[in-house]
């Protein structure tokens, strides 16, 4: 039986972080898309609407969503740094790394590049980043899908294929 309180060997810790953190890093896109579609453009529109309006100042009410997710990741990271040794500590640290990695990537691409809040225009040298930016601009223009960021271009392709099929039927 796996003992969550037993301290794993030091050499295994990075592997535990990777096994715990990578699915979280990758899964956060689906989580963010779900929240964006069902909550931010729904019952939490009063906070998110600020993101669809011209900003006056460095912050907007929508930034509260990033703060809320940070408030989930920070305690896990702290526990992973100072909590009692054990598999649980290492797993929570890995999960917090995955959440933080996604949050940082999202902030750089979405807030930094797409909305010009950080000096990262150099990212446009990559075609896939330009496609992400273009897809997000479609979201702002239409106020509808794609709700995801990194998989936004794929989401637009799926919608276009579905629309073509329904017109052909």
pLDDT for res 42: 97
Look at residue 119 and tell me if it is in a domain.
yes
Classify residue 4: in a domain, yes or no.
no
Q: What is the pLDDT of residue 152?
A: 96
| Alpha-carbon span 120 to 114, nearest angstrom | 9
pLDDT at 3 over 80: no
Number of structural domains the chain divides into: 1
What was the pLDDT predicted at 8? Answer: 86
Is the pLDDT assigned to residue 2 strictly greater than 90? no
State the helix-helix crossing angle for 87-106 and 64-82, rounded to 10 degrees. 150
pTM confidence score = 0.90
Return mean pLDDT, the chain: 94
Q: Range of 141's domain? A: 10-43+60-168
In a domain, 72, yes or no: yes
* Structural domain contains residue 120: yes
| DSSP alpha helix (H) spans, the chain | 13-35, 45-48, 64-82, 87-106, 127-142, 152-168
Asked if residue 54 belongs to a domain, the reply is no
């Amino acid at each position: 039986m796996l003992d969550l309180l037993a301290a794993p060997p030091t050499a295994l810790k990075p592997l535990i972080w990777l096994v715990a953190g990578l699915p979280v890093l990758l899964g956060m896109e689906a989580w963010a898309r779900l929240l964006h579609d069902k909550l931010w453009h729904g019952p939490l529109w009063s906070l998110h609407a600020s993101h669809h309006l011209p900003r006056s100042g460095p912050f907007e009410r929508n930034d509260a969503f990033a703060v809320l997710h940070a408030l989930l990741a920070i305690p896990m990271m702290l526990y992973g740094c100072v909590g009692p040794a054990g598999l649980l500590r290492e797993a929570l640290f890995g999960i917090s790394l995955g959440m933080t990695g996604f949050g940082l990537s999202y902030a750089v691409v979405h807030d930094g590049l797409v909305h010009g809040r950080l000096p990262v225009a150099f990212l446009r040298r990559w075609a896939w980043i330009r496609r992400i930016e273009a897809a997000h601009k479609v979201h702002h223009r239409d106020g509808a899908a794609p709700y995801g960021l990194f998989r936004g271009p794929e989401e637009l392709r799926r919608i276009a294929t579905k629309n073509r099929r329904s017109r052909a039927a």
